[in-house]
Structure 1
Amino acid sequence: MHEARQENKFLKTQLSDVNKELKKKKDYYYSKAKQEVNSKLINLEKELKNCKLELVLQKENIEQEFLKEKENYERTIDNLELNLKKQKKIFDQALQQSQEKFSKNLDILQKKLSDKGNGLSELEKENAKLRFEASKYQSALGVATNTRLGDDDQNHSVRLKQDILILQKSLENYVTHLKPNVDIDIEKIQTLAQEYGCLNEINVENKPFIKAILQRKVLDQVTFLSSILSDHRDIDVSLELYIDLKTQELTNLINIFSKHRVGTDKVTGVAAIKIRQEVYGILGNRGFNDAICFDADGTSKTFTHGFIIFASRELNNMMNQYRIINDVARKEQVEAMAPKLIQDIYKLMWFRFNVQEPIVNLHYFEKNDKIDPNVMKGNWNDDDDDINQLRVGICYFPLIGRDLTSSNRKVYTLANVISTSYNQFG
């Protein structure tokens, strides 16, 4: 036990000696490191001071160089301004001399002209007058021989196409979608379909076909009604027809005249075309519009065109045989569309087509004609491989365009058709 205490005491003494030794080393290294850091700081401060001094010197050098360059530029600018003033003075002197010389020459020429009298002046006036007259004639000749329609003309091909599409929509709205609260007389529809060569049985589910055949019937009925106009002797009712007939008569006579009378003017050759365009342009604008009558005291009043009243009544009666609209208000609304629809059909297909040069034509495709997507549109996919097996079931709106039988045809709107497999519906 005593030995253990002695050993413990010895170890503590050794530990104390080791701690003292470590403290001495620590103090030594700390002092040494501090000296090194202080030495480095002193060196860095010296370097910083030297850098600042160097920068100050560089700044002074740059400022001196800048001042020198500035002085050089200012001297250059002064020299340029001085040269510019000298050049301007020289130019002004030369200009003044030229003006004086020109003025003298002008005075000489004017004196010579004055000595020759007023003959030249009179010739110049006469020449100007003749030129003006010639320009007026050329302008009038251009107007008289130009058969192209302006972009703002309502009969321009773009406007005409738009109005044809609007007519198609109006026709569709008049026939209606055949629902709701609309009864269809299938027996009469079947008879109507047979008139167009469709012999297969039709049922009420075939509404797309029924709508199509009714639209075709409307167009055919309106065309047929126009043939009755000649039976009306009242000029107020048949005025449009008389103008149409007289225009055809006059243009035919002019064409005969231009072929059988010698002449070199350009107007005669296009006179018939220009007259046709002007007259049918007027008819396309006002044809079958409301009529005007005058009382004995000279006051005027307007009323619906007599033939439009007649044709609307006939068309509505005909349509009511095939589709019966049970809603009274809806029926009145649909029947009220008839006058405007008939006017638009006549204005487009009778009058405005004749304004075009060459005249626009229409063509209805026949039952069982092959489907041609280039001139038709309908219920098929143009990429369908079986399109060659499709045929026309009914063409319910015609193909419209110019030179339709020519290789140079211009199509305005495609024909609307319902397609069927070969021999379907007859």
Structure 2
Amino acid sequence: MANETVTETKELQDRNKYLEDENANLMMMLEEYEDNIELLKTEIQSLNQKNDDLEVEASKYQSALGIATNFDYNDDQNLNVELNEDILALHDTLENYVTNLKPKIDVNINKAKELLRKYKCQIKISDKEPNKPLIKAVLQRYVLEEILDKAETYFKRSNKECYLESDIVASTTNLTGLMERLHNNRLGDDEITRLIPIRLRQQVYIALGTRGFNDIKESISKYNKHNFIDVISKKINMMMDEYRDIKDIEKKKYVNALAENLVRDVVRIFYFRLPIQEPVAQYRWFNNNEKINNIFMKGSWDENEIDDLVVEVCSFPMIYKPDDDGDKVCTPAKVFPRHSIKKSLTEECMDVIGNFMKMVKSDDNSALSLQVDENEFEQTGSANSHVSN
């Protein structure tokens, strides 16, 4: 009996020893597994971080690709609608600025006749028959051309704060040209490189169309009128005083105050809003004596007489997008029509000779043009400063 007890005890001890050894082995294996798990967790975290980084990078690329390739029909339509609205608003501003030349407004007929000759108008005016709608149309054309002419001078200058917009336009033209060369002269067929010059141009001109020619900040609380806007608006007001004298003092103040917005809107539309379009929109003036075209032009006429009508003066140009299938009109030109004059062969020959002599003689219209010293853009500033409250 005692021997059996000893034997059982020995077996239990051996069994216990075996289990302890097994437990020790299992604990060692568990520690190894735990170490491996920690290593795997670290690797997983590292892979997750790399995955996150790749997703961020892919997201940035996808975003850039989306921006660069976002030229669907609806976007193009929106740009067209916005441009049309801007031009219609400019029509109204120009109409209000030139005025309808009626009550309490005297028109200088002799000066108006000079403008009619400048634009080769055939209709005659006089003190008794001034034809104010025609004079109004000619003045609108004159004001627009003068602003655009002075803007052309502005955009040839650079390297001063007042020429910031000019510098941006020049840099954008240069950079888009370089990007076009990258697309054309480097091997590859990705869409983003092809579209970047277009998107870059559009984004820059959207910004210029929003903030270009706003007042210039001198400090947090002090700002000045933009030099170009200040100089040209004053010149335009003085120029218009030579053609029409507004007797009502309050109305004259109101009209003169429109000049700044008029100058700013003209430059923004013709220099910034047109390049936003794809393809870039352009403008065209129609010449005196061109046949009336009710697709390219709008005005006051009887459709039954359209075959006998020609342009007397184009007061606002046609805005269009060039296309291989024909120009696509954004907004038609505004024209003042007249009936075509039937001429004999002798009269037509005399006109040809007369036009040739004018080309040789080169009529000088400089006296009718705004005289602006280029340095004037750089001299304004402190006299027109404002302090924000």
Query: CA offsets per residue over residues 99-151 of structure 1, 9 Å max, x none?
Result: xxxxxxxxxxxxxxxxxx979x9699699756775455334322223345976
Equivalent of 1:262 in 187, 197, 216? 187
Which ranges in structure 2 are unaligned for 5 or more consecutive residues? Answer: 1-36, 343-350, 352-389
* In structure 1, distance between residues paired with 2:59 and 2:223: 44
Q: Answer whether contact 1:364 1:398 (CA < 8 A) is retained.
A: yes
* In structure 2, distance between residues paired with 1:251 and 1:183: 50
Q: State the SS of the aligned residue for 1:336.
A: helix
1:202 equivalenced with 2:202 (yes/no):
no
Q: State the SS of the aligned residue for 1:416.
A: strand
Equivalent of 2:211 in 286, 294, 310? 286
Equivalent of 2:266 in 341, 345, 349? 345
Residue 307 of structure 2: aligned partner: 388
Q: How far 1:232 sits from its partner (Å)?
A: 5.9
Equivalent of 1:399 in 318, 334, 354? 318
Query: CA offsets per residue over residues 137-194 of structure 1, 9 Å max, x none?
Result: 334322223345976x997221221111011011000000101111111111111111
Query: CA offsets per residue over residues 227-275 of structure 1, 9 Å max, x none?
Result: 3325766622211111111211221222123212222332221121111
Equivalent of 1:409 in 318, 327, 332? 327
* In structure 2, distance between residues paired with 1:230 and 1:166: 24
Residue 141 of structure 1: aligned partner: 65
Specify which structure has the bigger relative contact order, considering alpha-carbon pairs within 8 angstroms and separated by 6 or more residues: 2
Residue 244 of structure 2: aligned partner: 323
Residue 182 of structure 1: aligned partner: 105
Q: Give me the CA root mean square deviation.
A: 3.0
* In structure 1, distance between residues paired with 2:111 and 2:65: 58
Query: CA offsets per residue over residues 327-362 of structure 1, 9 Å max, x none?
Result: 222212111100001111111111011111111111
TM-score between the two structures when normalised by the length of structure 1: 0.64
Q: How far 1:225 sits from its partner (Å)?
A: 1.2
Q: How far 1:408 sits from its partner (Å)?
A: 4.6
* In structure 2, distance between residues paired with 1:173 and 1:408: 34
Residue 237 of structure 1: aligned partner: 162
* In structure 2, distance between residues paired with 1:360 and 1:370: 23
Q: Answer whether contact 1:155 1:352 (CA < 8 A) is retained.
A: no
* In structure 2, distance between residues paired with 1:163 and 1:263: 39
1:226 equivalenced with 2:151 (yes/no):
yes
* In structure 2, distance between residues paired with 1:307 and 1:125: 56
> One-letter code of the match for 2:83?
L
* In structure 2, distance between residues paired with 1:329 and 1:255: 53
* In structure 1, distance between residues paired with 2:148 and 2:288: 20
* In structure 1, distance between residues paired with 2:56 and 2:175: 33
1:370 equivalenced with 2:288 (yes/no):
no
* In structure 1, distance between residues paired with 2:81 and 2:175: 29
Q: Answer whether contact 1:398 1:416 (CA < 8 A) is retained.
A: yes
Query: CA offsets per residue over residues 286-340 of structure 1, 9 Å max, x none?
Result: 011111012xxxx431221111110001111111111111222221211110000
Aligned residues: 301
Q: Answer whether contact 2:312 2:335 (CA < 8 A) is retained.
A: yes
